[in-house]
Structure 1
Amino acid sequence: MAGTEVVTNEERLRRIAAITDAALSDLDIAELLDELLARVQDLLKVDTATILLLEGHTGELVATAAKGLEGEVRRGFRIRIGRGFAGRVAETRAPVTIYDVTSEDVVSPILLASGVRALLGVPMLANGKLVGVLHVGSLALRRFGPDDVQLLQLVADRASSAGQARAQVLDRQAALALQRSLLPARLPDIPGLDLAARYVPGHDLGIGGDWYDVFVLPSGWLGAVIGDVSGHGLPSAVIMGRIRSALRAYALDADDPAEALTSLDRKIHHFEAGTLTTAVYALIAPDRSTVHLSSAGHLPPLLATPGHPTQLVNLAVDRPLGVGRPTTSRRTTVVDLPPGAALVFYTDGLIERRSELIDTGIERIAGVVRSEPAGALCDRIMTTTAEEHPNDDIALLVIRRWPPTVEESGGGPGR
């Protein structure tokens, strides 16, 4: 009998390993969890199997997949860590068994109504962090043994790893899709100006909050902004989207970039507390001869003027948005934009390198910037200064005033 039992246990583990390995490459998250629970029901001969995943921003366990307790998923059952059976497993981060379930052991009305008499639950951990809880139940009295615990913990470990890997992929895909939808799909055609931009996500640290935007205001002025929301991943991309939309709204009522950034600073302090954002907001006059700029902790743009060395704009830089108490003393700098001149806005991912002063990075990009069509200038900058595998997002925006010969002929440079 002992030999038969060993074979049986090995076969159970082999079948779990087989289905989870296949699921890692072939199934999406919902299918993976559903298949795991079905296999657990079959191998452990249990009546219910449930996965509750930890929701990061609320700290609650949420019923995500279930067999025999599907009502918990449909009704969005959630529970705080420390409460009820699943909450106890999450709090102790250790297997928990109950031989005879009572109303004092569980708080889920659906679980109580199911008639479950015995429960076994194990934590779902990934890299030492709690991901969720996996528990199974029997309608008959049953004492779950060490082999049952070992099998269920194996499933939980594999589900955690698969779930975390897939969640990271989905998070990046969702953040990138959101960021792509928020970045202008096509820069506007602006008389007298040549525009081009580039965006490259940081492959090592994931999607971040870099953005750029260009829009025409009812007054005829052109608004342009480049900025960076602290952090990475989907949360930063979502916050970036809200900040971008808010600035557009404030721009409609503010003739001064500093005024618009002041309103945006108040908004971030109130609604996005704890978020640090840098940005340069520019307003270009209808005749394209001058640019009004205000910087909230962001690197000054570069100005390339025909016949002159490329230089940093002598711009008053005020503190980032969301830092300290909201201030009303932000400043605006007015800069001439001669015919043929190009303004180059960028985020720090383009110039920062490990073990290198930021001034070195600025000098490197300044050394390749020249007055030429905006698209060609973007290509030159990205080719000669951007790393093959950036550690941070890169956003680049070039605004060039047409040279006199082009303006006089009424045409524009090739794009």
Structure 2
Amino acid sequence: MGVSRGSRMRLRVLEAVTDSALRDLGLEKLFEVLLWRVHDLFAIDTATVLLTDSSGEQLVTRATIGLEEEIFQGVRVPVGTGFAGRVAQQREPVRLERVDRSAVVSSLIWERGLRSLVGVPMVAQGDLTGVLHVGSTKPRRFSDEEVDLLQLVADRLATAAHAHRSRSARAAAAMLQDSLLPGHLPTTDHWELAARYVPGTDSGVGGDWYDVFRLPGDRIGLVIGDVVGNGLRAAIVMGRLRSALRAYALEFADPAEVLGKLDRKASHFENHTMATVAYAVIDATTHRMDISLAGHPLPVLAVPGRAAEFVDAPVGPPIGYDLAVTGRRSASVHVPPGALVALYTDGLVERRGLDLDTGLEALRRAVSPMPTEDACSRIMAALVGDRPAPDDIALLAVRHSPAPDEPGAASPV
């Protein structure tokens, strides 16, 4: 018995999208090869891939046969608008048997003389990655079977685009975060600093950061924060918050006022963003540390001759969503010679199956008024040890170095 034309077509499409040679191709070449195969198999005049942008709100032409000007001219299609935008919004195939200016966003489509269009969504792992559409300059009704076969191609393209985007986002986030963490901590008389940052095994790269900078008037600014979420977007938001906080720190002396300005900025410009931040300013002359906390865990203070304790400071709401409607507060803490302050993100003390209070108590016991590098090593050994942490960890330690004849000069072990 002979094989039907429809069965032959399905077999040819399946062979086209499952060709093992495609695995060795980069994304651009993969798009090119598959679009030409679609062009030949479906006997159409145009074939185009549009991918969602980083916001997920617009489609950008990434590869095409027959509509190359869309790439050269940077055509963007809002999701929900026009033919391709409808496909993206509905996540269902859309057929157009009559193409006119009112039906499409890109005038190049109807200027090219296309009479019929069919578009299918590109979805991988539940995420919309883009739209594949094909067009004919002759009147044509694409059959249900042709639409189904075109969806097979779109699924293959979506898988490749999603994998490429994930790899690129992880690499970009890692590079961005690495560039924003201090390459070296500033040195100053009588104050020593050390820090650690470890990306989480679950999050890969997230929005944890720490920062240290000199301020006018013999002061030192200390920041540690955690943007909710992970990946490239969290790293980008972290970078913007870091830069904004530095700018506000030069204008306002009170840490609470600085975090208030940061909150206002984030609430207005960073939609759907939330972060916890601790910002402290050490006055090297008076040995006082002013600190304000926006939803962030309390730092630990270790003074020679006393058990380490959590700093007594009010914890306000996190940054974002205009949560601090009643304003923010700061506290002033005396940091005597030999004392050490440890600031950290919650990845250090939170573990699956471990009570948070247990993690905090383990941290308190691990903090001791010793040189900062030794303190960071001791804290990480006690809290992390040989177990990879699922979440990012940032740790910042600052110590008021005692003079040789002052208490605390002999570092405990």
Answer yes or no: same fold by TM over 0.5. yes
Displacement of 1:406 in angstroms is 9.1
The one-character-per-residue Cα deviations of 1:356-413 (angstroms, maximum 9, x if unpaired) are 33221111112222222212221222232127333322111011222322999xx9x9
Query: SS of the residue aligned with 2:222?
Result: strand
* C-alpha RMSD over aligned residues: 2.8
- Normalised by the size of structure 2, how large is the TM-score? 0.88
Q: Do structure 1's residue 401 and structure 2's residue 384 form an aligned pair?
A: no
- Describe the SS at the equivalent of 1:263: helix
What does the per-residue CA deviation read over 1:200-239, in whole Å, with 9 as the maximum and x for residues that have no partner?
1223134322111100112111111111222222222222
Counterpart contact for 2:49–2:61, Cα < 8 Å:
yes
Q: 2:340 aligns with which of 324, 339, 342?
A: 342
Residue 53 of structure 2 corresponds to residue 71 of structure 1: no
Distance 1:99 1:264 in 2: 52
Q: For residue 343 of structure 1, give the secondary structure of its aligned residue in structure 2.
A: strand
Work out whether residues 288 and 337 of structure 1, in 8 Å CA contact, stay in contact via their aligned partners in 2: no
**1: distance between equivalents of 2:388 and 2:36?**
42
Q: CA deviation at 1:40?
A: 2.0
Once residues 81 and 196 of structure 2 are traced to their aligned partners in structure 1, the CA distance between those partners, rounded to angstroms, is 49
1:187 is matched with which residue? 185
Going from structure 1 to structure 2, the CA distance change for 1:101 and 1:261 (only over 3 Å counts) comes to: closer
1:83–1:222: structure 2 CA closer, same or farther, 3 Å change rule? closer
Q: Go from structure 1 to structure 2 and tell me whether the alpha carbon gap of 1:306 and 1:326 turns closer, same or farther (over 3 Å shift).
A: closer
Tell me: CA distance 1:303–1:57, structure 2 relative to 1, closer, same or farther (3 Å).
same
> Percent identity between the aligned chains?
47
Structure 1 residues 341, 217: closer, same or farther in 2, change over 3 A?
Answer: same
Counterpart in the other structure of 1:304: 302
Structure 1, 29-38 or 108-117: larger mean CA deviation: 29-38
With over 3 angstroms needed to count, the CA separation of the structure-2 counterparts of 1:88 and 1:273, relative to structure 1, is: closer
CA spacing shift, 1:389–1:155, aligned 2, 3 Å: farther
Q: What is the SS of the residue equivalent to 1:303?
A: strand
1:325, CA displacement in angstroms? 5.3
1:246-285 to 2 correspondence within 5 Å? 246-285=244-283
**Of 324-333 and 171-180, the range deviating more from structure 2:** 324-333
SS in 2 for 1:2: coil
CA contact (8 A) 2:316 2:324 kept: no
The more displaced of 328-337 and 61-70 is 328-337
**Contact 1:269–1:326 (Cα < 8 Å) also in 2:** no
Out of 152, 155, 163, the residue aligned to residue 154 of structure 1 is 152
1:389 aligns with 2:388: yes
For 1:146 and 1:316, the matched residues in 2 are separated by: 63
Secondary structure class of the residue paired with 2:404: helix
Q: For the residues of structure 2 that align with 1:145 and 1:268, how far apart are their CA atoms?
A: 50
Distance change in 2, residues 1:83/1:306 (3 Å):
closer
Query: Aligned pair 1:370/2:368, yes or no?
Result: yes
Per the alignment, in what secondary structure is the counterpart of residue 224 of structure 2?
A: strand
Deviation at 1:135, TM superposition (A): 1.0
2:317 is aligned to 319
Shift of 1:147: 4.8
Of 237, 240, 258, the residue aligned with 2:238 is 240
Matching of residue 17 in structure 1 with residue 15 in structure 2: no
Pairwise mapping of residues 82-231 of structure 1 onto structure 2 (< 5 A)?
Answer: 82-99=80-97, 101-103=99-101, 105-231=103-229
How far has the Cα of 1:181 moved from its partner? 1.4
- Contact between 1:288 and 1:401, CA under 8 Å: does it hold in 2? no
> For residues 69 and 129 of structure 2, what CA distance do their matches in structure 1 show?
22
Cα distance in 2 for residues equivalent to 1:201 and 1:349? 10
**Aligned partners of 2:175, 2:375: CA distance in 1, in Å?**
26
Further displaced range: 309-318 or 399-408: 399-408
Aligned partners of 1:99 and 1:263: how far apart in 2?
54
Task: Specify whether residues 233 and 356 from structure 1 end up closer, same or farther in structure 2 by C-alpha distance, changes over 3 A only.
Answer: same
Flag the 1:103–1:328 CA change in 2: closer, same or farther, 3 A: closer
Choose 87-96 or 112-121, whichever is displaced more: 87-96
Residue 132 of structure 1, CA deviation: 1.9
Single out whichever of 297-306 and 81-90 deviates more from structure 2.
81-90
Deviates more, 1:390-399 or 1:7-16: 7-16
Q: Output the CA distance in 1 between the equivalents of 2:174 and 2:232.
A: 8
Gaps of 5+ in 1: none
Asked whether the 8 Å contact 2:13–2:153 carries over to 1, the reply is no
Deviation at residue 133 of structure 1 after TM alignment: 1.3
Deviation at 1:262, TM superposition (A): 2.5
CA drift at 1:174: 1.5
How many residues align? The count is 407
Q: 1:407 to 1:141 in 2, by over 3 A?
A: farther
1:226–1:280 Cα contact (<8 Å) kept: yes
Cα distance in 2 between the residues matched to 1:105 and 1:323: 38
Larger deviation: 226-235 or 398-407? Answer: 398-407
Counterpart residue type for residue 2 of structure 2: A
How far apart are the structure 2 equivalents of 1:200 and 1:28? Answer: 31
